[in-house]
Amino acid sequence: MGALDGIRVLDVGLLVQGPQAALTMSDMGADVIKVELPGMGDQGRWLPASLEDPRPPWFVGCNRGKRSITLDLRKPDGAEAFLKLIETSDVVISNFKPGTLDEWGVGYEHAAERNPRIVYGMGSTLGSKGPFAEREGADLAGQAAGGLISTTGIDGGEPTPVGATIADHMGAQNLTAGVLAALFSRERSGVGQKVEVSLFGSQIYAQASEFTAYFLTGEVPGRANYGHPVINAAYGILATKDGYMALVGVPPSNREAFYSAVGKPELADDERFQPLLYTAEVKRQLFDILRPVFLERTNDEWSKALGDAGCRFAPVNDYAQASADPHAWENGYLQMVEHPEYGEMRTVGTPIAMSGTPLEPGKVAPELGMNTEELLLEVGYDWEQIGALRDAGAI
């Protein structure tokens, strides 16, 4: 049994923010029903791996283990079918533009009338309040509006986004956390509630330390400059003979071992580098010394030397290198599955380990609408009614 065994989730999400939140709950044992527009489905179905490979990584990666029903929520019959599903469900997950589901008659107030225990999780771009609350957006908007992009790159360079849908992911995880807390609260109160998160708010929350540094000093942190805009220490990226290495700080207890490992034992007594934190100028001086040294060895050689010295470091991996790391497989972060269409394939597992109720990643993302009749029969429709819904274009 999973931690959420017996919980039913209606996933009306699109792309990443909503679907990944529902995916986490699916891995935790919930029965997740993917609600999609007939003939179209989640837009993630239409983002191919490449121009030559039509397989959709955004949909496959965020929707494995779910069942799919097609409902046109804009049509009264489709909205009514959705509300019938809500009567026997515990959670709704959505990241439509604020107000959209209310306009269709299936928003939180409508859902709570049919099922007061429903937990209604809603993600958005900027939040449900404010002058631009109804603005549509996606991951890039969250990264931009939330300040993340302003910290990437180097001084004088062009701002660049993070090369992953990180704002969507952060929004998804905050949505999951809020929904799980609301389910816990419901166990005590017997009543569900609405849960709201946004890409913008999630980006700010993810940068709580950096925003606080700004609030305390009044100084905008600026660019990462191969490290971190606020942390002036032995903390940053250094080029090696065949790649790059991340040096993750040198605490005083490790100072002698580190400088011996890099062949510069005299630096352990250098007054400039005695503190844990430096001025920006002292950090620049240290890295000017370290750069030519790190170019003398490969990543593997540095990994052994720094590892033997007990230092904090990590090679800068690309996806191929990260997926070859044994820790990714031994901890279940990556897994092999047998896909009915793609054959044996690697898939992203789950980063959460629970000793009593282990998570079990689903293996296959559903075909569009493949469980429509099955799910309608479960909530009381008969075959004649299902045929009428199909004739009306509601499914």
Structural domain spans, the chain: 8-206+365-391, 235-316
Q: What is d(CA 61, CA 72) in angstroms, rounded to the nearest whole number?
A: 24
Mean pLDDT of 63-72: 97
Q: Tell me, yes or no, if 168 is annotated catalytic.
A: yes
User: Is residue 178 pLDDT above 90, yes or no?
Assistant: yes
Residue of 42, 168, 308, 391 marked active site? 168
139-159 per-position pLDDT tens digit: 999 999 999 999 999 999 998
Per-residue pLDDT at 1? 85
Indicate the pairing of strand 313-315 with strand 244-248: antiparallel
Strand residues in 31-143 grouped as ranges (E): 31-36, 67-70, 91-94, 119-124
- Nearest 5°: phi and psi at 329? -90, -40
Element (H, E) at 373: helix 372-378
Q: What is the pTM of this model?
A: 0.93
Q: How confident is the model at residue 368 (pLDDT cuts 50, 70, 90)?
A: very high
Per-residue pLDDT at 148? 96
CATH number of 8-206+365-391: 3.40.50.10540
Q: How confident is the model at residue 367 (pLDDT cuts 50, 70, 90)?
A: very high
Amino acid identity for residue 389 in this structure = L
Topology, domain 235-316: formyl-coa transferase, domain 3 (3.30.1540)
- Specify the DSSP class assigned to residue 43: G
Per-residue pLDDT at 278? 87
- Specify the DSSP class assigned to residue 45: G
CATH fold match for the domains 8-206+365-391 and 235-316: no
- Nearest 5°: phi and psi at 291? -60, -55
Print burial letters for 205-235: b (CB count within 10 Å at least 16), e (below 16). ebbeebbebbeeeeeebebbbebbbbbbbbb
Mean pLDDT of 165-176: 97
| Among 393, 378, 379, 364, residue whose Cα is nearest residue 56 | 364
Q: What is d(CA 261, CA 306) in angstroms, rounded to the nearest whole number?
A: 6
